[in-house]
Structure 1
Amino acid sequence: MRTKIGFFLVFIGLATSAFALESGAPPVLKPLTEQAQAAHLSAQFLIQYHYKTVPLGDELSEKILNRYIKSLDPEKFFFSQADIDVFNADKDKLDDGIYGEDLTIPFTIFNLYEQRVVERLNYARDLLKQNFDFSTKEDFPIVRDDEAWPKTEAESRDLWRKRVKNDWLRLKLAGNDDATIRKTLEKRYANSLSRAYKYKSEDVFQIFMNAYTNSIEPHTDYFGPTAASDFDISMRLSLVGIGAVLQEREEYTTIRELVAGGPAQLSGQLGVGDRIVGVAQGKDGEMVDVVGTPLPDVVKLIRGTKDTVVRLSIFPSDAGPDGKHREISLVRNTINLEKQAAKKTVLQVKNGDVTNKVGVITLPTFYEDFDARRRGDKDYRSASRDVSRLLTELKKEQVDSVIIDLRNNGGGSLPQAIELTGLFVGKGPVLQQRNHEGQIKVNGSDTRSAAWTGPLGVLINRGSASASEIFAAAIQDYGRGIIIGEPSFGKGTVQTVVNLDEEANNPKPEFGELKMTVAQFFRINGGTTQLRGVVPDISLPGFSDLENLGEASYDNALPWLQIKKADYKQLGDIKDLVPQVQTLHNERVTKDKDFQRLVEDAAELERRRKQKAISLNETERRNEREQQLSRIKAREKADGVTPLDAAFQEDGLQANERSLSADIASEKALKNAKDVLLEESAHILVDVTALTNGSSSTAGKAVKQ
């Protein structure tokens, strides 16, 4: 339904809730004029230029509505069937609203969502005043996305009774008494409740626009001004600020980590655990109280222009309830996000009497400072430049082979994937692109000679997507190296970012940006990574949820296609070696206790994933817990190692409820844990090297070049 007449959505006859609104009604949020304009402008671009032509009409309107509702209440805890029925009465009107620049419907839905959140959480708090009977036989559905919406108020109340009962039981099993449990859960629900009062118009619009863009295709997204800024920071790996990682903990913005060399660390005036309670601009600006302020808003106040002053009011981590605040002054500077940059390590791998040095380059993302490159900055930051530098260092360290670790690398800059491939294959095609008109273009590397011509391995998992898959697929198609790990994500599409303000000649950053799919990429062998991903030559186990993570899990993903292969010459072919390498791998891991533990832990995690419900009977839960604890203790007794899934001994707390020191210690322990998969990958690469060196096949010649 498309009309030129504006409209308003009126809720009539909704079931009246008996829940007490102890904290009052949440604020009623309304769309801004520029948001309605941005929605209309986005629609014009999506209709004309998106790779997948989807008209904005009644059919898409219904999909947007369903996705929007699901994004607000994915497990169906807040809305009722009566609410959904009211929403569905307008399922064919969202397109009218976008064309007519009227966003009343999505904002009205969100306002009701906030109201339901307040009602349900206040009911949850009321439940804490009673006692629960844990001797009864009943289950709590922990996976509810396919469940029906509660049809009555009684159904909704019973669902929340079970949810609170489960929260209580988890804490009870961890050894807490009733008073502690009540205090912990009261604080938890109160904190959740407070967040319902902090949503802003920008948040609602961001959620709605992503429901719209994702209804067309999974990798098309809308970035509001704040999200656009964060995306730019992630690509250039730098920002202007004070150099502190912040975390929201119980209404306080808390220092989680200090960036080495940043203003905060160099000042010596801030420490981990300190809480920021006020922010002021310049030497004389008014101090703004930020207690209870959402973290993104505090971050906005702290970031700013290079060489400007920001003042912070600090409540020290060791201060008691009556402790004194102190004020500090910092000068903002450029902060490099080194945690997301390429890094190298060297592994020593024994193969008989010979020790091999395997260089490992870990690349978390394909980053590039687009603006600096556009300006002609000779020292602009990029993934391929950093990897090239690290390869030079590894050659000086005389490594025998190199692994590129792309696990959980979700992609990034397409040119960087091409340039990175060139470091290992030299000049030649890397991928093919097909645009929405069906035209095919071959993209290739102009690098004259490869930076590394020795043995190469690429380690991937389900989290390796997009640019990671372009690189891994090209290495595989050229026969340049061996691919190890899990099947990759399966994202075979190319996106471009459209600055809506620039397109509309709008001088202020109001409309945001549109990340839009404009092409599908294909391997140089003519296939595509779309849906199927890159299939490794040697498979390794992992902890990924292969069923629910990956392109194939999306209901509107583009199909797999095949086109003509590009004109390229293979540099080698390791296919004949794979069976031998697989045999050596199998023989080794059967004797490797660490690897077998990992297989066991992965199987246990997969078993738990398949659980749709959990018992609320204390005896049953204790028995299950004891079985897990016995397994953990048996392993610890046998070899002093705690299973990776020992978190089942959970304390019943959520992440922000644990002490900061405990969180940091846990993170450090995980970081320092033995990387079994990386070590086995190094052994696999050493096997490949040994086999090719002892062979006259093209594989040996290709690897050694």
Structure 2
Amino acid sequence: MLNLKKTWIFLSLCSMSLLVFCFNASSQDDREKEIFKRVKEVLLYSYSPKDLDISYSKDVYKKYIEDLDPFKRYFLESDMEEFSKYKDKMSDMFIRNDVSFYHLSIDRLYKRINETEEYVNDIFSKPITFTNDDYFYTDDKKRKFPKNKDQAKQYWKSYIKYRILQEIFNGQKEKDSINDVKELLENSDKDKDSKKLNKAKTKEELQKESVKKVQENLSEYFRQVKLRKKSDLFSIFVNAYTEVFDIHTTYFSPKDKENFNSSMSGKIIGIGATLQDVKGYPTIRELVIGGPAWKSKEIEAGDKIIKVQQGKKGTPISVVGMLLDDAIRLIRGEEKTTVVLTIEKKDGSTKTVSLVREEIEIQETFVRSAIITDDKGNKFGILYLPEFYVNLENNSKGRDCSDDVKKEILELKKQGIIGLIMDVRNNGGGSLSEVVDIAGLFVGKGPVVQVKDASGEIKVLKSKEKDIVWDGPLILMTNELSASASEILAGAMQDYKRAVVVGPLQTYGKGTVQTIIPLNRFGMEDDKFGALKITIQKFYRINGSSTQLKGVTSDIIIPGIFSYSDIFEKSQEFALPWDQIPSTKYTIWQGTPKIDYQYLKSQSEERLKGSTYISSIEKAGKWTKELDKIDKIPLKYEKFMQEMTKRRDQGKIFEKETNFDAKIKVEAPDYELVKFKTDTVLKAKREDWYKGMKKDFNLRESVNVLNDMISRK
């Protein structure tokens, strides 16, 4: 058995001495080998190294095949027999920087995709009926790869039938909605509106339209799949090696790295527009108020981008039929540079628009706040933090979430709030340093989290915040998708007895720390190798417990729809284990109010007792889990419609039972009301957020708990 540390120290020294000769790798194959080699070098610093043995090799092989063809739609049994000879050689190929299996498998994949498109076209060339008692099998893990092309074609035939039946069913739902509207318009004087409504379509018309729509969608799917460059799939191969170490150790291609940096900073350089692919045309979906496209007054939602030109003297490049991601990269660029777009308007006319690129903030990334007034007239503040973003460029234009949270709290305090809710639901994490700074806003100076590296060395990360920004009653709202940095914050607030955590039985359970290491760190060339996000540490609460796998248990437990699912870290095959280290020294919160957790819990349990909302959420979660166990769907028309109608009707029951009135008033803070006067898009988005909060059961219970905390003073 080869020990990774010893083997890779030797390999790394050999590789580093050769790097100077590899910077100008001319061919794509050389570039892939170089990436493979550099990834291997960086993995040397992994928190939990693997032995390059047969077991590792088999795991890598299994993961690669699963990720390359996860639904078993392309490869045949004969391909698997041929590929299986590499099952025990993946480790050896890694050591030798051998990418031959990657090329073999990808070339075969493209061949099978072309064959599959032929199957699909042949299926659509003949009448498609729904009279036989056959099934579409949905459990891909149980299903084997097709033995031959006939079996492969049969799979696609059943898949196409399934998609068409879904479209017919959705069309029937639309017909039901139309009939409901017609009924409302009966005996009214709105004849014109009534005439505009579609006539109820017959079963045959719905089927014909559905067949056409599925055919068009699959045609577009194959077009986009075949447009993907072979090199774009190399990440799948590399990540089969990295993610067997642990699921968060991931290779980023240069494109992926750029996207990751944008998501972490909440900023991009561009024209201020979101795009979508509409039948091969990059199409404007939405404009950012104040962005270059919006300021031009020449571009609007629905416009198609035909060509992109770099600068006023560049050569226009057609982006029609191009992958949307590639078209977007042509439109983005350096700040203050010019991009010229050829636009096709909705009326078919074309025009050329010259825009100067600017830094655009992705508003959905940043913290936002609101004022909540309950039915007793009590006023509370809520902060929603989608992620723990950070200013990666460390420049004056960048934003750190800790600074933004501090500003929002100060604004809320001006408006006389008596309690604060910090909402980190669906927050998957982000910057470790930022969560430490945010914790300091509530507890001041002191330890927030412990981290342990691969050598076993433990460090305590402490807040340096001198002034506590909020010392009043505090709630932390979590859910099953609150992970990583969110769990650090929740765990720290619990350990300090500073806040009450309201949410499901446990959060996601990610207790590991990653860092980004560029693969071009030894050279001066442009970033053409990408980067590796590698797990270097595990973090632990200040009480010594890891959040890995176990997450954070809520003080006030409210079951969620995901509580019965397998989305948690503990369900992942290559997740690192849970463990514990000694507690560090810290002083429990000495401010007021002192939190009487037992009292708050008993009060909440009394309110939740007999709640139809809670029972419906539990029933819906269990029902969804049972649906996941169903591994086949009938393709006979009557049986399919019966099954889907049953599901739809049950879903409507749960929707009705969980339709909740929180009996709260939600308003924007004063500083944002000023923005609403000029930024109508921001206003609309915020109002949509407020609307959701007014139906939020967990938010209402958090308000109730705050009231209990205040009354207990």
Same fold flag (TM > 0.5) = yes
Q: What's the CA shift for 1:670?
A: 7.7
User: Mind listing any 5+ residue stretches in structure 2 that lack a counterpart?
Assistant: 8-26, 173-204, 662-683
**Which one of the candidate residues 5, 24, 30 is aligned to 1:33?**
30
Deviations 1:522-561 (A, max 9, x none): 1111111100111111222333265321211111211110
Question: Does structure 2 retain, via aligned residues, the 8 Å contact 1:484–1:538?
Answer: yes
Distance 1:598 1:550, change over 3 A: closer
Aligned pair 1:339/2:364, yes or no?
A: yes
**Partners of 1:633 and 1:456 in 2: how far apart?**
35
What SS class does the counterpart of residue 359 from structure 2 fall into?
A: strand
Give the match for residue 183 of structure 1: 212
**Which one of the candidate residues 445, 454, 466 is aligned to 2:484?**
466
Question: Does structure 1 retain, via aligned residues, the 8 Å contact 2:564–2:625?
Answer: no
Aligned pair 1:242/2:264, yes or no?
A: no
Give the match for residue 651 of structure 1: none
Q: What's the CA shift for 1:106?
A: 1.0
**Which one of the candidate residues 368, 383, 387 is aligned to 1:365?**
387
**Which one of the candidate residues 316, 319, 344 is aligned to 1:290?**
319
What SS class does the counterpart of residue 542 from structure 2 fall into?
A: coil
**Which one of the candidate residues 457, 464, 473 is aligned to 1:446?**
464
Give the match for residue 407 of structure 2: 389
Partner amino acid, structure 2, of 1:106: Y
Q: What's the CA shift for 1:133?
A: 3.9
Distance 1:523 1:673, change over 3 A: same
**Partners of 2:612 and 2:79 in 1: how far apart?**
58
Question: Does structure 2 retain, via aligned residues, the 8 Å contact 1:411–1:464?
Answer: yes
Q: What's the CA shift for 1:340?
A: 0.7
Give the match for residue 416 of structure 2: 398
Aligned pair 1:220/2:249, yes or no?
A: yes
**What does 1:110-125 align with in structure 2 at a 5 Å threshold?**
110-125=106-121
**What does 1:415-494 align with in structure 2 at a 5 Å threshold?**
415-486=433-504, 487-494=506-513
What SS class does the counterpart of residue 378 from structure 2 fall into?
A: strand
**Partners of 1:405 and 1:537 in 2: how far apart?**
15
**What does 1:685-700 align with in structure 2 at a 5 Å threshold?**
685-690=703-708, 692-695=709-712, 700=713
Give the match for residue 62 of structure 2: 66
What SS class does the counterpart of residue 377 from structure 2 fall into?
A: strand
Give the match for residue 654 of structure 1: none
**What does 1:233-312 align with in structure 2 at a 5 Å threshold?**
233-312=262-341
Q: What's the CA shift for 1:419?
A: 0.6
Distance 1:635 1:463, change over 3 A: closer
Q: What's the CA shift for 1:601?
A: 5.0
**Partners of 1:420 and 1:284 in 2: how far apart?**
48
**Which one of the candidate residues 132, 139, 150 is aligned to 1:136?**
132
Question: Does structure 1 retain, via aligned residues, the 8 Å contact 2:617–2:654?
Answer: no
Deviations 1:654-693 (A, max 9, x none): xxxxxxxxxxxx9999867534674533433433443x44
Partner amino acid, structure 1, of 2:40: A
What SS class does the counterpart of residue 399 from structure 1 fall into?
A: coil
TM-score, with normalisation over the residues of structure 1?
0.84
**Which one of the candidate residues 151, 155, 158 is aligned to 1:155?**
151
Distance 1:31 1:687, change over 3 A: same
Question: Does structure 2 retain, via aligned residues, the 8 Å contact 1:530–1:560?
Answer: yes
Give the match for residue 527 of structure 2: 509
Give the match for residue 14 of structure 2: none
**Which one of the candidate residues 521, 527, 547 is aligned to 2:539?**
521
Q: What's the CA shift for 1:207?
A: 1.6
Partner amino acid, structure 2, of 1:292: G
Distance 1:626 1:483, change over 3 A: same
Question: Does structure 1 retain, via aligned residues, the 8 Å contact 2:660–2:696?
Answer: no
Aligned pair 1:590/2:611, yes or no?
A: yes
Question: Does structure 2 retain, via aligned residues, the 8 Å contact 1:358–1:399?
Answer: yes
Question: Does structure 2 retain, via aligned residues, the 8 Å contact 1:585–1:684?
Answer: no
Give the match for residue 648 of structure 1: none
Deviations 1:39-77 (A, max 9, x none): 11110120x210001133443232222111111111212
**Partners of 1:167 and 1:149 in 2: how far apart?**
21
Question: Does structure 2 retain, via aligned residues, the 8 Å contact 1:462–1:546?
Answer: no
Distance 1:672 1:608, change over 3 A: farther
Question: Does structure 1 retain, via aligned residues, the 8 Å contact 2:273–2:286?
Answer: yes
CA RMSD of aligned residues (A): 2.8
Question: Does structure 1 retain, via aligned residues, the 8 Å contact 2:307–2:341?
Answer: yes
Aligned pair 1:127/2:123, yes or no?
A: yes
Question: Does structure 1 retain, via aligned residues, the 8 Å contact 2:616–2:658?
Answer: no
Give the match for residue 620 of structure 1: 639
Question: Does structure 1 retain, via aligned residues, the 8 Å contact 2:426–2:480?
Answer: yes
Deviations 1:206-264 (A, max 9, x none): 22122221111011111111111111111221121101111122111111111111101
Give the match for residue 21 of structure 1: none
**Partners of 1:598 and 1:355 in 2: how far apart?**
29
Partner amino acid, structure 2, of 1:349: D
Distance 1:159 1:545, change over 3 A: farther
Q: What's the CA shift for 1:341?
A: 0.3
Partner amino acid, structure 2, of 1:342: V
**Partners of 2:317 and 2:59 in 1: how far apart?**
42
Question: Does structure 1 retain, via aligned residues, the 8 Å contact 2:565–2:625?
Answer: no
Give the match for residue 519 of structure 2: 500
**Partners of 1:232 and 1:681 in 2: how far apart?**
32
Partner amino acid, structure 1, of 2:75: F
**Which one of the candidate residues 432, 438, 446 is aligned to 1:414?**
432
Question: Does structure 1 retain, via aligned residues, the 8 Å contact 2:564–2:621?
Answer: no
Give the match for residue 39 of structure 2: 42
Distance 1:416 1:614, change over 3 A: same
Question: Does structure 2 retain, via aligned residues, the 8 Å contact 1:459–1:484?
Answer: yes
Give the match for residue 374 of structure 2: 349
Deviations 1:143-183 (A, max 9, x none): 31333222333332222221111112222332453432332
Question: Does structure 2 retain, via aligned residues, the 8 Å contact 1:125–1:189?
Answer: no
What SS class does the counterpart of residue 227 from structure 2 fall into?
A: coil
Give the match for residue 649 of structure 1: none
Question: Does structure 2 retain, via aligned residues, the 8 Å contact 1:31–1:107?
Answer: no
Question: Does structure 1 retain, via aligned residues, the 8 Å contact 2:277–2:324?
Answer: yes
**Partners of 1:57 and 1:333 in 2: how far apart?**
50
Greater Cα offset, 158-167 or 303-312: 158-167
What SS class does the counterpart of residue 86 from structure 2 fall into?
A: coil
What SS class does the counterpart of residue 448 from structure 2 fall into?
A: strand
**Partners of 2:471 and 2:338 in 1: how far apart?**
49
**Partners of 1:491 and 1:264 in 2: how far apart?**
40
Greater Cα offset, 124-133 or 411-420: 124-133
**Partners of 1:257 and 1:450 in 2: how far apart?**
40
Question: Does structure 1 retain, via aligned residues, the 8 Å contact 2:284–2:303?
Answer: yes
What SS class does the counterpart of residue 370 from structure 1 fall into?
A: coil
Partner amino acid, structure 2, of 1:300: R
Aligned pair 1:324/2:349, yes or no?
A: yes
Question: Does structure 1 retain, via aligned residues, the 8 Å contact 2:453–2:537?
Answer: yes
**Partners of 1:45 and 1:599 in 2: how far apart?**
45
Question: Does structure 2 retain, via aligned residues, the 8 Å contact 1:456–1:685?
Answer: no
Greater Cα offset, 389-398 or 152-161: 152-161
User: Mind listing any 5+ residue stretches in structure 1 that lack a counterpart?
Assistant: 4-29, 644-665, 701-705
Question: Does structure 2 retain, via aligned residues, the 8 Å contact 1:356–1:686?
Answer: no
Distance 1:678 1:399, change over 3 A: farther
**Partners of 1:451 and 1:364 in 2: how far apart?**
21
**Partners of 1:284 and 1:614 in 2: how far apart?**
57
Q: What's the CA shift for 1:414?
A: 0.4
